[in-house]
Amino acid sequence: MRFVFFFILFSLVFTHILQGKDLEESGFISVDEAPLFLPDPNTDTLHRAIRESESYYEKLSPEWKITIKGTSFNKNDMLKSLRTLKKILKEKDPESFRNRFQNSFSILETVDQHQGKITAYYEVIMEGRTLPEGEFVHPILETPSDLIVKKQGNERIVVKSANGNLVPYETRIELFEPSVWKNKTKAISYVKITDLHLAQLEGSAIIQTPNKDPFRITYSSDNGKEYLSPAESLRGICKSLIPSDLRNCIVEFPKEVRDAILKNPRYVFFKREPSSPRGSGGIELIPKRSVAMDPNIPLGIPALITFESPVLTEKNRIVFVHDRGSKIQGHGRLDYFLGTGKKAEEQAGRIQTQGRILLILPKK
């Protein structure tokens, strides 16, 4: 899904430290009193989401830790807090629930320039072909064998070796030519250009091909280029870039839409995924429980979100940081995973709003 590959590897092996002063200055303040909210009646998805966070922490190195506002937390602290949360969620009395919650957890609220900017994402369902034909000529590629990921400071660099030198990896428009990729990777499927754009934007998809069972693809890697939205080129041409409008727009303005999408140099590579959609660190994404946030916010931690939109309203809903996104940057940014299918697609395109984001950490 929407994640940064190098960060996953780094956080699984090394210590991840967020110093208290830096964290506070870069976007968080302490909240002294927990907000009033009731135990969530939808316990099935909630417990599944907690279990995914537990599983993630169980796989971390014993040396893993975070330091927030002068307090260090190791993997066992995080696991213990998740198990405490499960016990508190069984509490039926609202006041007792709130008191136990406040006694067990510390709360941080985002206050950076992206404060409470909430969007949503989903898993795309699309048609595909095993061979290029008609409109289905845009390849969904596996990660190429020559792709190299390097780290320079905090920056992730994607390169390849050419004549003994490391050079930048190919752009989207270069990868459109089969002669560029056919000897180093293969096409999982061929799709329409708008569907390729949506799959790469959302990070996963279900592909339906004639006479074959549908299958799921999920993020594998990318070419390291910055994402360039087609929005600027299509301003005044397409009504909006929500999926239904984009698909209608390409019927009327095929060249303009195609050219705008191909201007985006970023290309996401995929792999087949036999199970449910996955986010960063292999965490299963649970609809309306999993969210993507900035890479500086540790994976697995719970949060409370509140927002209003024309299609969906949430008040102090418990969610978990299970994913990353190339465009989800800043501690006040959050992308809410809505699931798979038409309803999720329609809602995701219409959620872009301000809200409140509260991170939940163990109290020590």
pLDDT tens-digit readout, 226-275: 999 898 899 899 988 888 888 889 999 999 999 999 999 999 999 998 87
Q: What is the CATH number of domain 138-278?
A: 2.40.240.50
Task: Give the Cα separation of 225 and 360 in Å (integer).
Answer: 33
Split at pLDDT 50, 70, 90, the class of 2 is: very low
* CB-side neighbour CA atoms (13 Å) of 133: 7
- Every domain of the chain and the residues it spans: 138-278
Q: What is the 3-state secondary structure (H, E, C) of 4-70?
A: CHHHHHHHHHCCCCCCHHHHHHCCEEEECCCCCCCCCCCHHHHHHHHHHHHHHHHCCCCCCEEEECC
Which of helix, strand or coil describes residue 181?
helix
Q: What pLDDT, on the 0 to 100 scale, is given for residue 129?
A: 97
Task: Give the Cα separation of 49 and 196 in Å (integer).
Answer: 29
* CB-side neighbour CA atoms (13 Å) of 9: 8
pLDDT tens-digit readout, 27-80: 567 777 767 666 666 688 999 999 999 999 999 999 998 887 778 899 999 999
Residue 153 φ/ψ region, left for φ over 0, alpha for ψ in the -120 to 50 degree band, beta for the rest: left
Strand partners, 119: 335, 352
Overall pTM > 0.95: no
